[in-house]
Amino acid sequence: MNDHGSMGRTARLSADEAGLAEAAAILQRGGLVAFPTETVYGLGADATQAEAVAGIYAAKERPSFNPLISHLESFEAAKVQGTFDDTARKLAEAFWPGPLTLVVPVAPTCTISDLARAGLDSVGLRVPAHPLAHALLKATGRPVAAPSANRSGRVSPTDADHVLSDLDGRIDAVVEGGASDVGVESTIVACLGGAPRLLRPGGVPREAIEALIGQTLESGLEGGEKNPLAPGMLASHYAPRAQVRLNATAIEAGEAILLFGPERMQGSEQAKAALNLSKNGDLKEAAAHLFSYLRQLDASGAQTIAVAPIPETGLGDAINDRLRRAAAER
Ligand code: TXA
Ligand code: MG
């Protein structure tokens, strides 16, 4: 697949053992597969492979990175990825499998890529109830990151034809599993210590959650690009400690540098640390490295991270959006 998400034909896979085995194999080798869940169809990629996750953004033409929900076959599998406090455990036991997503701190054993978490130390996890989603996750044996399987700005798809009308030729396959019955996305609750917060209303009613935990849910806005959370409530974006200087063409003493493409930067021998997002100028590779490289450069102790110009095409939009936020957030 190229930066614009175009590729050959999208395969329609049947909802049987052979179709699911093929879907799992595609996911394991880093491809993109849309599949039914009880809420909406998800556009799945192996959450542990950052380049596969970058493919989701390319296919959806999403202009910014936000943390994605990773789907798991069981609560047991979810515990490898996240740390569940008492409230989170209670919610998982009551509502999983089902249309509830829990945002919890990453576990030390977490294998979900930085890109799927948008660089955060928390992770969004869900165990879907749809039997085909469950079977696919079991066959894949990995966390599967999956936002709704539509192009950015369009409505969420509830059947395979909706998916193909947006993404045909841009993803490897779709599992044909009939109509999703909930039709709205999962409810998202953050359990990050302190009171649990409702980040997005969805398939599980707020009242059902409050009745179970015996307390009112605090509200927290969805951490998407349209509704950044109030500072101090819940960090919705990873921000490096260092200042970030964009479109740098030369570096100053003591800076760390984030390069892109084959060109060297003037003064780079003096850099405190230097990493190249993609020496070949491949935006998908760059997206896959973005958050971990920012963290590594931040850890060098440099006051400023100077970032080389990155083209505003394809995934470059989302990369630049993230970098602009990192440069502005202070
Ligand atoms: O019903 C659904 O949840 C569908 C189906 C396919 O399962 N999936 C879905 O995924 O809507 P997605 O990736 O589009 O959800 C992303 C939202 C973010 O906008 C954010 O609100 C929340 O999940 N989220 C995920 N991880 C988070 C985190 N670490 N911190 C805060 N919010 C997080
Ligand atoms: Mg969506």
* Mean pLDDT in residue range 1-20: 78
Give the number of the ligand closest to the Cα of residue 68: 1
pLDDT value of residue 74: 98
pLDDT digits 0-9 by tens, 35-63: 999 999 999 999 999 999 999 999 999 88
pLDDT digits 0-9 by tens, 70-106: 999 999 999 999 999 999 999 999 999 999 999 999 9
Closest atom of ligand 1 to 133 CA is: 7
If one compares 69 and 269, the residue with the highest pLDDT of the two is 69
pLDDT value of residue 50: 98
Distance, CA of 148 to CA of 180 (rounded, Å): 12
* Mean pLDDT in residue range 255-281: 93
Distance 184 CA to ligand 2 centre (A): 9
Distance, CA of 175 to CA of 200 (rounded, Å): 27
How sure is the predictor about 156, in pLDDT bands with cuts at 50, 70 and 90?
Answer: very high
**Residue 76 burial (C-beta neighbours within 10 Å; 0-12, 13-18, 19+):** exposed
- Burial pattern 93-110, b for ≥16 Cβ within 10 A else e, equals eebbbbbbbbbbbbbeeb
324 pLDDT more than 80: yes
Residue nearest to atom 9 of ligand 1 (CA): 147
Distance 68 CA to ligand 1 centre (A): 5
309 pLDDT more than 60: yes
How sure is the predictor about 234, in pLDDT bands with cuts at 50, 70 and 90?
Answer: low
Residue nearest to atom 19 of ligand 1 (CA): 224
Q: Which region holds residue 162: left if phi is over 0, alpha if psi is between -120 and 50, else beta? A: alpha
pLDDT digits 0-9 by tens, 163-180: 999 999 999 999 999 999
Give the number of the ligand closest to the Cα of residue 130: 1
Residue nearest to atom 16 of ligand 1 (CA): 68
Distance, CA of 304 to CA of 16 (rounded, Å): 53
Distance, CA of 231 to CA of 59 (rounded, Å): 31
